[in-house]
Structure 1
């Protein structure tokens, strides 16, 4: 196996999250503040917008998950927000309880939520290291 790579990673495309019910998933994520870019019921997918970027969080219907969370561990996907502590308050105000209180990280603060299928979304800010965050 060669150590040389013949391609360059340019950035993220979509992050795919398996869900057991597309309508229920969209209701959860819309309540959490995620705008829906599109929904294709016939394909069992919906794309949630993330900022001004074209890629997003792609919800993908998985029939095996209709009535239970997956048996495998879900990856954590963290998305940048301006203020994670304010996001935690906003989420709680619409009935979405964070997994834990906002916690400090090297760049600022993070709060995590989980959808009904155990997919974990972290909302993180760069208040301690604004030079590393997206330009405002």
Structure 2
């Protein structure tokens, strides 16, 4: 391959997540705190917004895809939040169980949960490394409580 034909990775487009029922999935993810960017039932897809970024999580209905526990190990999608422990409480309040208690990582805290089809997502914060965090719309990331 010549230099003129090479390519470079520019960033994420969307992350596709298979689900068995689009309506059920949209309801689940709305309870988990996601906003729906668009929904196209005829195409079996719905886009969940992730912050102010254009790419998002694209839910894609798959025929015959039933509920299942998360495979272990499995790919995980972690999304940055100001405070993962607060996110864990919000998930619990919404009736969404977490895979475990929030756990410490090098940059802060993370909590993981699975949707009814076994897709694992995590909310992670940068409370230990605020200089690496995105800034929230409300306040600088450095002010996130630990």
Q: Please, what TM-score do these two structures have when normalized by structure 2?
A: 0.85
1:62 Cα offset (Å): 0.4
1:10 Cα offset (Å): 1.1
Q: Which residue in the other structure is 1:69 paired with? A: 68
Provide the aligned length of Structure 1 versus Structure 2: 133
Cα deviation 1:68-116 (Å, max 9, x = unaligned): 4389764200000000000000110111111100000000000001000
Q: Which residue in the other structure is 2:131 paired with? A: 131
SS, match of residue 82 in structure 1? coil
Distance in 2 of aligned mates of 1:68 and 1:81:
27
Distance in 2 of aligned mates of 1:72 and 1:87:
23
- Alignment partner of 1:47 is 2:51: no
SS, match of residue 64 in structure 1? coil
SS, match of residue 63 in structure 1? coil
Q: Which residue in the other structure is 2:34 paired with? A: 34
Q: Which residue in the other structure is 2:140 paired with? A: none
Distance in 2 of aligned mates of 1:71 and 1:96:
14
Unaligned segments of structure 2, at least 5 residues: 137-146
Q: Which residue in the other structure is 1:78 paired with? A: 78
Q: Which residue in the other structure is 2:87 paired with? A: 87
1:64 Cα offset (Å): 2.5
- Alignment partner of 1:23 is 2:23: yes
Distance in 2 of aligned mates of 1:53 and 1:19:
23
1:23 Cα offset (Å): 0.4
Distance in 1 of aligned mates of 2:117 and 2:6:
37
Distance in 2 of aligned mates of 1:117 and 1:19:
6
Deviates more, 1:71-80 or 1:116-125: 71-80
Distance in 2 of aligned mates of 1:70 and 1:45:
22
